[in-house]
Amino acid sequence: MPAARIFVAGHRGLVGSAIVRRLAREAGADLLLRTRQELDLTDQAAVLDFFERERPDQVYLAAARVGGILANDTRPAEFIHENLVIQSNVIDAAWRSGVKKLLFLGSSCIYPKLAPQPMREDCLLTGPLEPTNEWYAIAKIAGLKTCQAYRKQYGFDAICAMPTNLYGPGDNFDLAGSHVLPALIRKFVEAVDGGATEVEIWGTGTPRREFLHVDDLADACVFLMNAYSDAAPVNVGWGQDVSIAELAGMVAEAAGYRGALRFDASRPDGTPRKLLDVSRIAGLGWSPRIALQEGIDATLRWYRQSGISPPK
Ligand code: GFB
């Protein structure tokens, strides 16, 4: 059988790079990768031209404008516009050029702010969204609905995975744009290296989040690409959550930080709890492997070696 030509859109990001690492272990995968300079996914004509020329068999749509609570809250136009344009261009061009299967990556923030926990896939559109990230959530809901519409009208095999909060090597550690876990790694490593006695944590520390290592997500994506074909989205999570204060304690210990934590309640907490119901993917036969403490230790080691924070 000839190797499947697989386009990973967004292969330099946290998720895309993990999917590439995972696919590198598959026999018969011919990877098709383009940097942003080589292919601007917001350029509809360029995207269509690329698909018509390269004719991939499968697409992992991991390209997106992403960020933590502050970036989402302060740059809503970028989050809604770029995500809508990128996903519309890629899904439409994939269908037009005869792609056999596409996997779209959404986010657990598509579910209502106060959805019953753990959140099942069918709680989508049953209540108001969390205001700090509703722009990103609306774009991701539109992506999911685009996949469902193309399946319904054209029979296009587009599937949707909804991951929980992700972390791992290659994450964004810029404190103005990052998610909480990379932010805490950076803050505690810099505190230890610089001898600081206090570290600031945003919000009250009481919100609860679920964290999944990105290598587990990548494994789930390849599993779904091979084993799942339906309009309904599939949650991908670890199955348990922790409070931000507990998470801070875990990262502090991993970094060897013994000083104080100062919670800054003037910063937004965001949604009070975000835990996915993962029974659908578990029923299909997939489960994650990398426990949170193990994943924190590995990501912290990666961060120290990356040179992002030079040791003092
Ligand atoms: O990870 P995070 O930025 O995003 O924040 P969300 C999670 C929680 O950690 C919030 C707190 O309650 C933050 O206030 N937190 C504490 C911090 N210290 C920090 C810090 O130094 N940096 C950051 N970033 N947070 C995002 C959405 O929501 O989750 C996106 O905005 C996306 O749309 C993503 O869905 C998965 O979990 O609140």
Q: pLDDT value at position 298?
A: 98
| Cβ within 8 Å of residue 83, ≥6 positions away | 64, 65, 136, 139, 140, 143
* Pocket probe mutation, ligand 1, options 179, 186, 247, 251, max atoms within 8 Å of Cβ: 179
**Pocket of ligand 1, beta carbon within 6 A:** 68-70, 72, 107, 109, 132-133, 136, 165, 178-180, 183, 201-203, 207, 209, 244, 267-270
Q: Is 281 left (phi over 0), alpha (psi -120 to 50) or beta?
A: alpha
The residue to mutate among 119, 202, 236, having the most atoms of ligand 1 within 8 angstroms of its beta carbon, is 202
Give the per-residue pLDDT at 312.
54
Residue nearest to atom 20 of ligand 1 (CA): 180
How far, in Å, are 18, 23, 148, 203 from residue 130 at the CA level? 28, 34, 23, 15
Q: Are 67 and 137 in contact (CB under 8 A)?
A: no
Give the per-residue pLDDT at 310: 66
Active site residues: 136
Tell me, what's the pLDDT at 308?
Answer: 87
CA of 26 to the centre of ligand 1 (A): 33
SS3 of 210-232: the string is CEEEHHHHHHHHHHHHHHCCCCC
| Cα 108 to averaged position of ligand 1 atoms, centre (Å) | 12
Low pLDDT (below 70) residues in the chain: 1, 310-312
Q: How far does the centroid of ligand 1 lie from the alpha carbon of residue 71, in Å?
A: 9
- Nearest-atom index, ligand 1, CA of 164: 36
